[in-house]
Structure 1
Amino acid sequence: MRMILAGAAVLSSFLPYQTVWAASGASKGQSGKSVEAPVVLVYAGAPVCKGCEEPVLDLIRQPRTPELKALAPEARVVRQWSEVPQALKALPARSIFVIPGTDDDLSAWAKGGSQAMTPASIQAIQDWLRAGGRYAGICGGAIVAQARYQDDKFAFNALNIAAMEADNFPNEDAVERIEKLYWLPTKLEFGAYFQAGSVMTLLLGEERVEILGKYLASAGKVPHPEGIAVAQFSYGQGKVFVSGVHLEATRDFWNKPPADFVPHTELLEMAFADLMSDRQIGTGRFR
């Protein structure tokens, strides 16, 4: 995915790296009445790459972490962009709308028709988030969380739900590889699946932000400095999670898995559980 971006006003001082990775799995509200389980609604229409929704759905349907098991979320799929606004209205509280990895060509969102990212659909997502909804964007889903997408062929207004710009590394290509990450909440260094993902630049804004993962500087095939790989933002009463890497990736993502690749799918499960918790972005502490 190649992008051409205008200059950005960079956030000069981040909020403290504070988060808590323990979601409330309570099934009853303050009144003692049972609360409907949250839903993870996964968009699987164009330009999401074929089958890219399946690893995310697998995590929801067969969670391994206690945090996600306790919440017992339901998994749903929507395949027409024009159906997203109505689908969001039907979701219980604390639900997440997920856009997983996409093809390099995002033109489906720029063209007319049922898959077009129209002003009305963007507004519906923003309103839903502002009222307390949750969003998770992975790779291409992270890129469209910014205000505008533009490459050398076309441009379109994107979701504008995260105070950041997402761009490729210089001299980027679409070859799959491992990118080394440093995961701040647990001080973990590991290699994550990466293919034409993004590095994020924070913008000045009223939203609260937490940096969860950073790319480590690379001198390999695509040399680059360190940069933001995974972050969370507040949006009204809602929350937004964006990741330039595929934390859901297992060894079957690869045609020939690298010998040193160890998946860390539990990090995405814990991120989803944290999104569905009542914790506000910018509060709590590292576990």
Structure 2
Amino acid sequence: MGQEMYAMLNQDQRSIADTILASHRTQSTTTADSCFFIDGQGIYVMTVAWTGIAASLLPEGRTVHSRFKLPVPILKTSTSSIRPNNEAPMAPCYALNAVDILLRDIMNIDAPFGGKIMILGGDFRQVLPVIRLANRSELIAASLKSSNLWPYFKVIHLHQNMRTGPGEEEFSKSLIKLGNGELTSNEDDEIELPSSYVPTLCNRTILCPKNEHSLLVNEEALQRLPETEKTYTSVDEVECEDGDDITNYPTEVLNSRTPSGMPPHKLKLKIGAIVMLLRNLDVHQGLCNGI
């Protein structure tokens, strides 16, 4: 199977595969040629991604948190209790540092990632680490390029979009221009995409500024489905040492809250309804966080 997949690689992909395989054959504990970042034979690898959606697209893919047992939330001082990594630019540098500490400890080798070959993949034009209320400088500081491990990586570029179908070359080029900030914007700093790029969605998008508005839209959409509705209720309670504080937060008040990232107190579902998972239930079946 490996030889069949190798034969399907284009020139850029084959060059990268040859470079990494050569590094594996001559692998030592030195840092040279053991770390790779990809922009865009009998070896065992672990394919991981920062998000559940990206992990579900990889063969035997798992999230970084799941594979390396990273804590939630991940902090500067975090370590792992336990290697290609897709969508790596979405991960904060603390995650890479935690994996580095783990592999050094397991291998008992004081070299980046314990001397193991580390392959990262992704595009820095896309989403950077998400940090609540962070400004631009804080986001850059959390990026992989700010990690003290980044200088050890050899950056290799892929130039051909293998998912581009016939007649879609112009769309692919426009995405690159968008990421590079080369598309012309109007006076409100808005970029208008041709409707031909998104023919099925350009007139169907509902943008809600607040969660309460999106809940109303979702409720309306759910009512239009013909299937039988099932309702699941949450169990909300206050945990505190001071019993007096409990009276300040009645159960009815807790039930009425709809914070971001949490389901409503009454979760109504129907067969065919679109939902987003908040936890990884079964990665192999694609039941991942964010899907």
Q: Give the alignment's TM-score, normalised by structure 1.
A: 0.23
Q: Give the alignment's TM-score, normalised by structure 2.
A: 0.23
Based on CA coordinates, which of the two structures has the bigger radius of gyration? 2
